[in-house]
Amino acid sequence: MAIPVAPTTPPSQEALLGLFPPGTVLDRDGGLVIGGCPVTGLAERFGTPALIVDEAALRARARRYADGLAARWANSRVAFASKAFPCTAVYRLLAEEGLSIDVAGGGELALALAGGVDPASLVVHGNAKTDGELRMAVEAGAGLIVIDNFDDIDRLERIVTGEQPVLVRVTPGIRPDTHAAVSTGQEGSKFGLTLPRAREAIARLRGSSKLRLDGVHVHIGSQILDTEPFARAVEAVAGLGAFAVYDLGGGLGARYTYDDRPPSVEEYLDTLVDAARRVLPADAQIVIEPGRSMVAESGVTLYRVVTVKQGEPAFVAVDGGMGDNLEVALYGQRFEATVATRVGGGEPCHLVGRHCESGDTLSAGVRLRDPRPGDLIAVPVTGAYCFSLSNNYNGTLRPPVVFCRDGEARAVVRRETYGDLMRRDVP
């Protein structure tokens, strides 16, 4: 997958605003307003860095997915792939919108339950689920546990006392055009079972007195900008037989840069459902698991400029970085940015973080208009994985999460304190 590069000509202000949550506008002084809240006021109230979430935009995205799938295939449901944003308030919001939840690990399971998610709506994933995690899922009443390997079957046979519905995760041998770290459907993936091994697992589960085989699951990767591989994945699992449930995973890409052109939600759903109509039983339930494409565009990170170092290139350093956004260092993902009170235009700069690491670059060659110490910087499309991958490198405090809607703002995750850093120390 090619790494996105900076545009050679300044994008228009309209193009830049198009990367922010729908409904983002400028106030009379030219400052960004997200969810009806001026970002200057948000920074004063909650500090920086801060992850701002447009609540209405997130709810609208959830409804767009759920309504769009239901209109195309009545017996269906949308399960949010919560590793993209495992935050109690996000679980609660999406459950209120009627979505199911996909969790990977005991922590996500605990957060989902704390957020009021119906356990029966949970889909439990993981390539290395421990006895403890499986026991948590079974005792909570998780609706579906995804079998990733034969050890999952052995463990569940020991743990389950009644009946547990399961799916078999299939590795279809499909490599989409995406970063290798987030490609999961190819031969040699650590996830799932190859088609021959999946058939073995299916045969074994059909003979189990404790594990009820409801169907199969397939997921080929993340940040996929072409619908064709999704259709091939549907066709691959169809060859395994007729089942009550086909979980078709997620993977639709988000628009991070001016040049990104991901398929729309509707184009993605059309591809999946058209393939399903050709090869899947008409009465089967279809489940999809959008993650990145569900939450990415609703999030914006605010930073404060700490230093500006003139030169070739000019370095604009902010009070966050790879502690709150590892996507750049891990995957080479490009982000755009702007001075939040002087939106658009400017000269190319290297927007960098405060961490003691040369790889701590938020955006290389991004255009910023006359950046100065104390300015607010807004980086759009940070709703996916930035919170998930946040860390305490250099003892940095992880930022708060702030929901905005109709001009009202509320923190749903507070900023860490130095006391939090030491809370687990044993005297």
For residue 51, give the nearest of 273, 312, 325 by alpha carbon.
325
d(CA 352, CA 363): 7
Query: In terms of C-beta density within 10 A (0-12 exposed, 13-18 middle, 19 or more buried), how is residue 14 classed?
Result: exposed
Known catalytic residue: 356?
yes
Pairing of strands 315-318, 299-309: antiparallel
d(CA 339, CA 341): 6
Give me 157's structure tokens: 């046979």
Instruction: Show the CA angle centred on residue 262, arms to residues 256 and 268, nearest 5°.
Output: 140
How is residue 45 annotated by DSSP? H
d(CA 206, CA 195): 16
Radius of gyration of the chain (CA): 22
- Main-chain phi, psi angles of 70, to 5 degrees: -60, -35
Nearest 10 degrees: Cα torsion 188, 192, 194, 195: -150
**Catalytic residue, candidates 87, 356, 386, 404:** 356
Pairing of strands 193-194, 164-171: parallel
d(CA 35, CA 17): 13
User: DSSP 3-state assignment of 17?
Assistant: helix
CB 346 within 8 A of CB 368: yes
**Residue 369 neighbours by CB distance under 10 Å:** 16
Round to the nearest angstrom and report the end-to-end CA distance of the chain: 48
- Catalytic site residues? 356
